[in-house]
Chains A and B, each alone.
Chain A
Amino acid sequence: MAKKRVVTTTINGDTHEFLCQPRQTLLETLRDVLGLTGTKEGCSNGNCGACTVHLNGRPVDSCLVLGVEVEGAEIRTIEGVACGSHLDEVQEAFLEGAALQCGICTPGFIMQTESLLDENPNPTEDEIRFYLAGNLCRCTGYDKIVRSVQCAAEKRQTANVGDH
């Protein structure tokens, strides 16, 4: 058995030091070593996007990243989206728009939407569908998700205008 490695990383703004085997994925490390079970396992082969997290600011499928690879990296997971009990605009929009049924895909969709709106604050429907193509949902039929992303974009723009 390969020796466990010590990995130091920043997750949702906090420094974490943990032990993991080289063969453990980032997804397994988050869930089984660190107890951050908000990130979900779907297909475990990079098709469904349920395990999407941000790695150094980019959305990735955490099932296709090794835990040992994230030494020194910055990670953001679904646990880092809400501020205490205050949901962010994307989470609110998904709730209000009923963009989820069983909920397994939701953390991945929310993380992917966060990346989309950071890159492109006012996406068209086509741009939303293209950017979210790596996230699968077997319940909603996607229309409610797309509408909720549009709603989140509006909420965020309104909030940003209010800030100035």
Chain B
Amino acid sequence: MRDFEYEAPTTLANAIAVLAKNNGSARPLAGGTDLIDHVRCGRLEPDVVVDVKKIDELNVLELNDSGLRLGAATPCYRIYGCPEISQQYAALTDSCRIIGGIQIQSRASVGGNICNSGPAADSTPSVIVLGGICVIEGPGGRREVPAEEFCTGPGKNVLKPGELLVEIKFPARPANSGSHYRRFIPRNEMDIAVVGVGASVVLDDSKENIVSARVALGAVAPTPLYVPAVGDAIAGQPANEDTLRKAGAVAKELVTPITDMRGTAEYRVHLTGVLTERVLQAAISRARGEAICTKIGH
């Protein structure tokens, strides 16, 4: 592997200083499941690797009345290991349970997933539909960016040299709400999404009508794609099959997938419709307090 220096700052200020000093030639290391592979195969050529796991702010995992704080380096297993988070932010833990295998989940973080900025990232659609806000710290101070605006292209995002994603903040979940993430892959586990869909819905008190919904799609555009038009099309509608079919049809119109080894563009458009319907149905079931089957193929 390429030669590089290693720094492991224990404070946010020191981490920002090291990143800023190296002006773009330093890369933060959280779980390393993308970074180390990218350095080994030459896709990234950092001079300094900055291990950010020893910084308290990046390991926060705090659920309270005002919402969820998720430190950017918090590994997947800690997230789904918390029953309250699995219950309230189900789409997020659905994602964390299927990113790589168990070994990867011991290290990989949701913050790393969004910073890697792959179009097929499994956790980013969930972060978007749950209203995640990315808290970024840099030499110029702190700023916040909604998750749907974070990625700007394949492998590209809004971080400037010297900036670091510190945490993702989620608002508290409304009453009668539910969420889900699901992807289509030809295997049962350990694969990259052909299409992935995250959805979050809020129902009215009768639990028969949709008050609002957020849907985000993976692997069908240059970035994880928030599609507000899908939510707009079904807000105020009864939570039934006709409404879900409409949601699927709207989603299919919004995607611009490519053809690659995982599937053709046409196939991905079709999958977008099918998965949008199914994922919304599962989110509605959860909002009603019903258990859903997350087994592949069901």
Report which A residues bind B (CB closer than 8 A): 1-2, 5, 21-25, 44-47, 49, 52, 55, 58-61, 63-66, 68-69, 71, 112, 115, 126, 129-131, 133-135
Chain B contact residues, majority secondary structure: loop
CA distance A65 to B53 in the complex (A): 12
List chain B residues, Cβ under 8 A from A131.
Answer: 102
Q: Are A133 and B3 in contact (CB under 8 A)?
A: no
Q: Which chain B residue has the least Cβ–Cβ distance from A116? A: B102
Contact indicator A21/B3 (Cβ below 8 Å): yes
Q: A59-B106, A66-B36, A130-B189 are in contact. Are A2 and B4 (CB under 8 A)?
A: yes
**Residue in A2, A25, A45, A115 whose CB lies within 8 Å of B102:** A115
CB-based nearest A residue for B106: A58
Contact-residue bracket for chain B: 20 to 34
**Chain B residue contacts of A134, Cβ below 8 A:** 100-104, 189-190
Shortest distance between the CB of B183 and any CB in chain A (Å): 14
B9-31 interface (Cβ within 8 A of A): 29, 31
Q: Which residues of A contact B260 (CB under 8 A)?
A: none
CB neighbors of A among B85-112 (8 A):
100-104, 106-107
Known: A22-B6, A130-B189. A45 touches B40 (CB 8 A): yes
Task: Assess whether B49 is interfacial by the CB under 8 Å rule.
Answer: yes
Given contacts A58-B106, A134-B100, whether A65 and B32 have CB atoms under 8 Å apart is yes
Residue interface mask B187-208, A partner, CB < 8 A = 1: 0111000000000000000000
Sample 5 A-B pairs with CB under 8 A, ordered by A number.
A23-B1, A23-B39, A24-B1, A46-B104, A55-B106
Which residues of A lie under 8 Å from residue B32 when comparing CB positions?
A: 64-66, 69
